Amino acid sequence: MEDKKLHVKFMRIAIKLAEKNVLNASGGPFGAVVVKEGKIIAKSANKVTTTNDPTAHAEVSAIRLACKKLKTFDLSGCVIYTSCEPCPMCLGAIYWAHLDKIYFANTKKDAADIDFDDQFIYEEIDLPMEKRKLPTIPLLRDEALKAFRMWQESGMKIEY
């Protein structure tokens, strides 16, 4: 049986990270906490504006810290608590990191209501490349396939 008090505790930490980020003008109003076996492995607020890194969302930053601490790219057995429903990039990172579960507070609609609207990304993903707003042009596929063949045949690859 899951311990609701612990879930609430970890979510409140994520929310406090978001609030502190706003108060300190350190980035967007987002916080995330990665937990394993009831213990905090990593936590981060959004760092986009302080690091000039558009990928430094709270979830991605917390995942990076957790991977570094645990010395692995596979966070199976971990859970993430995030102050807002993850954007498409963060959701992708959460899946790639193999986290077991996502708990979130604010919804993507709540984020859209304060001008953090990712709906256009969801819509763009569904469009064929030639209809996307950002020109997406295939180039040198035949040359690039060599690296894929090398990977497929390599006895030294580490699958992820």
pLDDT digits (tens, 9 = 90+) for 11-48: 999 999 999 999 999 999 999 999 999 999 999 999 99
Write down the pTM of the prediction: 0.92
* Averaged confidence pLDDT in the chain: 95
pLDDT of residue 1 exceeding 90: no
Q: How confident is the model at residue 157 (pLDDT cuts 50, 70, 90)?
A: confident
**Percent of the residues in the chain that have a pLDDT greater than 90, as a whole number:** 91
Backbone torsions φ then ψ of 44, nearest 5 degrees: -160, 155
Distance CA(35)–CA(10), nearest Å, equals 8
The pLDDT score that the predictor gives to residue 2 is 63
pLDDT band at 117 (very low <50, low <70, confident <90, very high): confident
Instruction: Catalogue the active-site residues.
Output: 59
Q: d(Cα 118, Cα 111) in Å, to the nearest integer? A: 9
The pLDDT score that the predictor gives to residue 159 is 85
Model pLDDT for residues 118-144, shown as the tens digit of each residue = 989 989 999 999 999 999 999 999 999
- Strand arrangement of the beta sheet that strand 78-84 belongs to: 39-45, 31-36, 78-84, 101-106
Rg (CA), the chain: 18
DSSP-assigned letter for residue 52: T
Percent of the chain whose pLDDT exceeds 70: 99
pLDDT-based confidence at residue 102 (cuts at 50, 70, 90)? very high
